[in-house]
Amino acid sequence: MRVLIVGCGSIGTRHLRNLWDLGIRDIVVTDVRLDRLTELQRLFGVKTVGDFDEALAMEPDVVFVTVPTHLHIPVALKAAQFGCHLFIEKPLSHTMVGVDELINLVQQKKLVTLVGCNMRFHYGPSTIERLLRRNAIGKVVSAHLEAGQYLPDWHPWEDYRQGYSAHQEMGGGVILDCIHEIDYARWLFGEVREVFCFGGKLSSLEIDTEDCVNIVMKFNVGFSATVHLDYVQRTYARSCKVIGEEGTILWDIADGTVRYYSADRKNWTLFKPLGSYDLNQMYIEELRHFLRCLEGKERSAQDIREAKRVLEIALAIRESMHRGQKVIVRS
């Protein structure tokens, strides 16, 4: 199997390292920056190509689309036309333009797709999902999810003002950047009926995108969840609280544990991974899942049809923020 990685920023390089560790050696990388290609060729001895068309001519079986968000659909469409299976980093795109065309092409060519949803493979959300599946806290009535970190600290070796996160036309903004919370809320609680969002550009960061939002998501099952996302917190924060009639589930990435309170037993149960938990492990598990999908052993956790639905929710949230009123999510 030959893998082509298009875009060798931080996430593209992470996937390269992890594929290498999983034993994948036939890897081609392409990027517009020669310095990145030179470094990856030095570190791994992989084939490097400066031109995307030239890279596709090397007949890859799988393409990893890890370019800035606004380029996801154009790159994925061209790769799909060549019959390549697709791993696309989140979010699927920043608009709906070209999304249905890509879905139709993928169906026509029977391609395997996965859109990056690595938080589903993290110990915390995956443990919450298992507890909910076994009805550990009874009927869920409310939830709160949070993610925040100071944008300049994301990639301290780069000027944050030059990255795609800082620019709306490139698909930046905290709603799309932190779409993981929107995705795994839908994964845990089901389809979203309507959304409401307060937020915008509130800090003094030199960006033209929203940097702090508070969202209410109402699900088809009847209850609502609140979601806070920001580019401002000076310490990395990620957490989830789920309230049920028979108990409560708490997860905080700071200590890595999931706590579950049972009203019946009137005590807390602590879940924690064995040993020290490496955040890279969720990316490894995500890739293992994708490789099993390519082998026909598993069904994609989030193919482009599912990712389209998550994108529709995110865009409805952004629309609500701009309009200042609730928005019904397309069904």
Residue range 258-263: average pLDDT? 97
Half-sphere exposure of 45 (CA within 13 A, CB side): 4
Cα–Cα distance measured from residue 9 to residue 163, given in angstroms and rounded to the nearest whole number:
10
Mean pLDDT of the chain: 96
First to last CA, the chain: 38
Q: How confident is the model at residue 330 (pLDDT cuts 50, 70, 90)?
A: confident
How confident is the model over 30-44, as pLDDT tens digits? Answer: 999 999 999 999 999
Q: How far is CA 326 from the centre of its chain?
A: 24
The answer, yes or no, to whether residue 275 has pLDDT greater than 90, is no
What pLDDT does residue 172 have? 96
The answer, yes or no, to whether residue 49 has pLDDT greater than 80, is yes
The answer, yes or no, to whether residue 276 has pLDDT greater than 80, is no
What pLDDT does residue 126 have? 97
The answer, yes or no, to whether residue 72 has pLDDT greater than 90, is yes
Contact 106, 113 (CB under 8 A): yes
Cα–Cα distance measured from residue 311 to residue 148, given in angstroms and rounded to the nearest whole number:
20
Tokens matching residue 264: 């019946």
Cα–Cα distance measured from residue 160 to residue 149, given in angstroms and rounded to the nearest whole number:
13
**Degrees to nearest 5, angle at CA 225 with 242 and 254:** 50
Q: How confident is the model at residue 149 (pLDDT cuts 50, 70, 90)?
A: very high
What pLDDT does residue 221 have? 95
Backbone angles phi, psi at 241, to 5 degrees: -130, 130
What pLDDT does residue 41 have? 93
Contact 230, 211 (CB under 8 A): yes
E strand map for 50-188:
62-65, 85-88, 113-115, 140-148
Determine how β-strand 85-88 pairs with β-strand 62-65: parallel
Residue range 1-19: average pLDDT? 97
User: Which percentage of the chain shows pLDDT scores above 90?
Assistant: 97
Residue range 290-309: average pLDDT? 98
What CA–CA distances, in Å, run from 230 to 10, 172, 219? 20, 12, 23
Which range, of 154-158, 228-232, 251-255, 273-277, averages the lowest pLDDT? 273-277
Tell me the residue type at 60: P
The answer, yes or no, to whether residue 78 has pLDDT greater than 90, is yes
How confident is the model over 81-128, as pLDDT tens digits? Answer: 999 999 999 999 999 999 999 999 999 999 999 999 999 999 999 999
Domains for the chain: give ranges and CATH numbers.
Answer: 3-116 (3.40.50.720), 119-277+302-328 (3.30.360.10)
Contact 317, 179 (CB under 8 A): no
Return the bridge partners of 28, or none: 4, 47
Return the bridge partners of 34, or none: none
Q: How confident is the model at residue 277 (pLDDT cuts 50, 70, 90)?
A: confident
The answer, yes or no, to whether residue 319 has pLDDT greater than 80, is yes
What pLDDT does residue 13 have? 96
What CA–CA distances, in Å, run from 309 to 30, 50, 71, 234? 29, 34, 19, 31
What pLDDT does residue 81 have? 98
User: Which percentage of the chain shows pLDDT scores above 70?
Assistant: 100
Q: How confident is the model at residue 179 (pLDDT cuts 50, 70, 90)?
A: very high
The answer, yes or no, to whether residue 274 has pLDDT greater than 90, is no
Give SS3 for 71.
helix
**What does the DSSP assignment read for 228-296?**
EEES--SS-EEEEEEEETTEEEEEETTTTEEEEEETTTTEEEEE--SSSPPTHHHHHHHHHHHHHHHTT
